[in-house]
Amino acid sequence: MNTMPQITNLILLFSNHSNPSFFLSSLNPPSILKSTNKILIKHHKSLSSSSYPFVTCLSSIKPHKYNSKSFNSNRRTSSSNFSSLKQSDHKMEYEVEETKKIGIASGFNKKRAEGGDRSKPKDLKLKVRRLNPVNTSSYVQILGTGMDTQDTSPSVLLFFDKQRFIFNAGEGLQRFCTEHKIKLSKIDHIFLSRVCSETAGGLPGYCIIRKLEYLFQIRSEAYEIYFAGLLLTLAGTGEEGISVNVWGPSDFKYLVDAMKSFIPNAAMFHTRCFGPSPKSDRVLLDNNPEKVNDQIKLIDDEVVKISAILLRPEAHGFKEDEFAIKSSDISVLYICELPEIRGKFDPEKAKALGLRPGPKYRELQEGISVKSDLKDIMIHPDDVLGPSVSGPIVLLVDCPTLYHFQEILSAQPLEIYYADIAEGTHKIVNCVIHLSPPLVVNSSDYQKWMSRFGGAEHIMAGHQVKNIQIPILQSSARVAARLNYLCPQFFPAPGFWSLQQPNCSNDGTDLKLCKTVSAENLLKFRLRPYAQLGLDRSGIPIKAGPNEIIDDLISEIPEISDAAKQVSQLWDGEEEDAADGVTFVEGDMSITEEPWASENIVSRCLENITRENVEIVLLGTGSSQPSKYRNVSSIFINLFSKGSLLLDCGEGTLGQLKRRFGIQGADNAVKGLKCIWISHIHADHHTGLARILTLRRDLLKGLPHDPLIVIGPRQLKRFLDAYERLEDLDMQFLDCRHTTQASLDSFESHYNNENKTEYNLISKGSQMQRVSPVDSDISYPIIKNLKNVISDAGLENVISFPVVHCPQAFGVVLKGMDRVHSDGETTPGWKIVYSGDTRPCPELVQASRGATVLIHEATFEDALVDEAIARNHSTTSEAIEMGNSAGAYRIILTHFSQRYPKIPVFDQTYMHKTCIAFDMMSINFADLHVLPRVLPYLKLLFKNETVVDESDDVEDAVSLAA
């Protein structure tokens, strides 16, 4: 019998597993070895596949040879240039763990799994941007995040030649800027009108962009950057060289403190808190901005002066107990004033004062006094310049309630900006951008206040129903429309198409006392040059409706019409026998149903299942960061009348819910949530959580309800605890460790025996930590509540299990209850397993035994197994093999690297029970038997799409930032 050789620099997984035999029993060595391509082993050039049936080993990170069969020959292979790291900066540790009783191994990065792969940041001097006082171009622009979904506040960009300012950074800002090529690198200041999830949910994504920009700038000095799919991990390797100042009212620093739990080097954020604490008159000014008559001066340089007026509603009865007011209740009105525009230079006056033509002319135009060349006098700018013109002024008003509006009416600093005071004593306001909701702006008092600004342009940027049917993310909307045309059963039309327009008779139109303009995405108001002062609609995207998109699709792929009909026949039962072979032919390409496609084998748990039982909605199917086509991880488990669950909740999850179900439908879905489960602490899996929780809190305000249970890794609790200092999340937290099968059993045993000593909640061989009686005393009531909640939802269990990715990473099992029919016969309940992010591991296979659906991450294609090991992710074939080994009925692949913008690379040969996930894909269990048969048609839909290397995607993103 062969023995395991002593191999250096390797990690062999499963060595701690107590019962490996179950995993070996169903493995197919040839297919597994085929999926792993080449095995690289230092000092050992061969391994016996008969002795080691599952091996994915790697001695060092080297450029991998691409498999021509599964790789686009036209694709650029620049990613191989990134797969070799400089040992001095990015040393990957690979170790060997040998267990004679196992004989199987799957490589993984132990250092990363244990959280030890974060590089130590260097101390660099903070860069100060060189300003340009003579700006040739300046404008404010509406960045329409949330305008179509009404889930977050739009952002406003204040643009100068060499500097940018952003007001509010709600969820989806990063994805929006990628979609619309908004350059971010010159943004040094972000101003928040309120400190809450609606205005600040996009800050983590913005942090990533700034880190990427910095990494590219220093690459030639010390680094060779390695991109392997999880761009969020690069946040931990950034430096302090490029920074951004984030301004917000009171106690804002708590939000940044909360982010430190998942953004390792949060030092790039410099918080600038201003104004008094909501619970006292203590002023929190960590950079001492000047406060004059309640107008706080934040920035005052040669480019722009920005000041703030705080709106504190407690003075007008907003809440009975002023100590109940949190930072999120305080709003800010921002005032942006550009310097005056100097008059035209008069060379004749300069000549008369003894000045020769030359550099001094320029100095005078820049406001610098010079000495005369011919006379013993100083010449001042006013001596040679015509009359100056006042600089443009822009106000940004976020007035969330009528209580805040009372603060506006009593704000003395605003008096100087009103046009109805004595002429010559007021400043002329050119533009007012209103972020306030319709309930406020449509009130008669608010309309009268607006009229006090004279001829100012009023841009209404609050949530308006008219914008709902205009997609802000047009690239993803285009893909969604094409998928809906091909297969409406799995890709329903967006929910807002069926939205009934509300009665607008009370929208305040009759009350308007001044001219207003409805905000549109990318609408500009130009400030410089002065001759162009006013609205500019040239950048507003051209709107393309579903009909135009489908016409383009049919023109591009004429055979798609026949394909759509054949997909429909899969449900109608009119399809031809698959044994007949080709279903249709186009040129040299044909779609052939494999022999397995005609197998009508239905899992027993699906017998007599209805369409109102369970549905899986893939809200986000990309990894690391949002892209134009795929949002980050989130899965909505729709249990219909019994409620719903969320598995992971990446940034933009609420927006995706609203795109899928419509505004009202998404609100109902959020109200019906029974539980949210988070797999691990990486930001692309949980930064949409606060927005979901605060919306649910608002929707259920005044109604009897229980706090929502959030299950997640223990690091997540630190973020949520810090966040709750800003606004109430109305939730209960439960550590994933407390929901493993061993933990639940131990809890029951512990409390039944009243044994208060420390006990182990985790199964033998796991690297998880022990839990003390103090933890259990807190968690036990929540666990009891969880059991009641999931029972009401028709679930038997929600069980977490450890996986191999990073510290405290988990997968989850959802088990439906058995169904008892009228005749007394029992049908076993269905079982959904979600892998989270992971390398192949025995815990996952064990948990997936007999699963109805296994949702498995497949970040990388098979040719990039090296990167998969380095980043502790799975390849396509590895994910499929996990499902096959466990006997899963259906496998759904998700969490694709953003290097695959639309459809990933895969080998169709082994996809007989598998399908590729897309954003908004909705899989009803009544349709599971059809799922794999749709895959060839999806491949046809994207046949003309080129696979783009992820490194190119990142470079494009950085070029946008430049």
Task: Give the separation between CA 846 and CA 95, rounded to whole angstroms.
Answer: 25
Q: Does any domain span residue 158? A: yes
The pLDDT confidence band at residue 93, using thresholds 50, 70 and 90, is very low
State whether 328 and 448 are in the same domain. Answer: yes
Examine the domain organization and report whether 679 and 785 are in the same domain. Answer: yes
Distance in angstroms (rounded) separating the CA atoms of residues 85 and 636: 38
295-312 mean pLDDT: 92
Scan for tokens 């790291």, then name that residue: 85
Q: Do 520 and 668 belong to one domain?
A: no
CA distances from 282 to 276, 410, 489 (A): 5, 21, 58
Mean pLDDT, range 126-138, rounded to an integer = 70
Same domain (yes/no): 788, 898: yes
Q: What is the mean pLDDT of residues 266-290?
A: 56
Residue 215 placed within a domain: yes
Any domain includes 727: yes
Span 382-394, mean pLDDT?
Answer: 89
Residue type, 320: E
pLDDT confidence of residue 268:
60
Q: Is the CA virtual torsion 860, 865, 867, 868 positive or negative?
A: positive
Are 360 and 475 found together in one domain?
A: no
Q: 632 with 703, same domain?
A: yes
pLDDT of 229: 28
User: Does 363 lie in the same domain as 271?
Assistant: no
CB 272 within 8 A of CB 296: no
pLDDT tens readout for residues 842-897: 999 999 999 999 999 999 998 899 999 999 999 999 999 999 999 999 999 999 98
3 state DSSP class of 891: strand
Q: Specify whether 353 is located in the same domain as 308.
A: no
- Verify that 321 and 231 share a domain, yes or no: yes
The CATH number assigned to the domain holding 914 equals 3.60.15.10
Q: 18-22, 109-113, 134-138, 512-516: which range is least confident on average?
A: 18-22
Task: Give every CB contact of residue 234 below 8 A, 6+ residues apart in sequence.
Answer: 208, 211, 212, 215, 225
Q: Is the pLDDT of residue 340 over 80?
A: yes
**Which of residues 660 and 93 earns the better pLDDT score?**
660
632, 947 Cβ separation under 8 angstroms = no
In this structure, the answer to whether residues 222 and 356 fall within a common structural domain is no
pLDDT-derived band at 401 (thresholds 50, 70, 90) equals very high
| Range from 174-183, 320-329, 676-685 carrying the lowest mean pLDDT | 320-329
Question: Does residue 925 sit within a domain?
Answer: yes
Q: 63-71: long-range contacts (C-beta < 8 A, 24 or more apart)?
A: 64/37, 64/38, 64/863, 64/864, 64/865, 64/866, 64/867, 65/37, 65/38, 65/863, 66/863, 67/37, 67/862, 67/863, 69/907, 70/861, 70/862, 70/863, 70/905, 70/906, 70/907, 71/861, 71/863, 71/905
Domain assignment present for residue 103? The answer is: no
At 726-737, the pLDDT tens digits run: 889 999 999 999
Shortest CA distance to 689 belongs to which of 701, 674, 678, 700?
678
Structural domain contains residue 62: no
Residues 809 and 936 in one domain: yes
Give me the pLDDT at residue 47, please: 31
* Structural domain harbouring 360: 347-384
Question: How large is the average pLDDT for residues 711-719?
Answer: 92
Number of residues that this document lists for the chain: 962
- Determine the average pLDDT of the residues in 91-99: 33
Residue 226 lies in a domain: yes
How far apart CA 345 and CA 382 sit, in angstroms, is 10
Is 834 in contact with 707 (CB distance < 8 Å)?
no
Range 257-283 average pLDDT: 61
Residue 114: inside a domain: no
pTM tops 0.85, yes or no: no
What whole-number distance in Å separates Cα of residue 138 and Cα of residue 134? 10
Q: Is residue 134 predicted with pLDDT exceeding 80?
A: no
Together in a domain, 490 and 513: yes
Mean pLDDT in residue range 286-302: 69
For 536, counting Cβ atoms within 10 Å of its Cβ (0-12 exposed, 13-18 middle, 19+ buried), the class is middle
Q: Residue 416: what residue type?
A: I
pLDDT score recorded for residue 319: 52
CA distance 956 to 962: 10
Residue type, 55: V
pLDDT class of 752 with cuts at 50, 70, 90:
low
Q: For residue range 635-681, list pLDDT tens digits in order.
A: 999 999 999 999 999 999 999 999 999 889 999 999 999 999 999 99
State mean pLDDT over 803-810.
93
* Residue-wise pLDDT tens digits, 15-49: 334 444 333 333 343 333 333 333 333 333 333 33
Mean pLDDT value of segment 292-311: 87
Q: What percent of the chain has pLDDT over 90?
A: 43
| 184 — pLDDT class (breaks 50, 70, 90) | confident
Identify the pLDDT of residue 514.
79
pLDDT of 37 reads 36
Q: Are 892 and 647 in contact (CB under 8 A)?
A: no
* pLDDT reading at 114 higher than 50: yes
State residue 778's pLDDT score: 76
Low-confidence winner among 61-65, 899-903, 941-945 (lowest mean pLDDT): 61-65
The pLDDT value given to residue 825: 84
Check whether 224 has a pLDDT greater than 70.
Answer: no
> Number of structural domains, the chain?
3
Tell me: the pLDDT tens digits for 427-485? 999 999 999 998 999 999 999 999 999 999 999 998 776 667 678 888 899 999 999 99
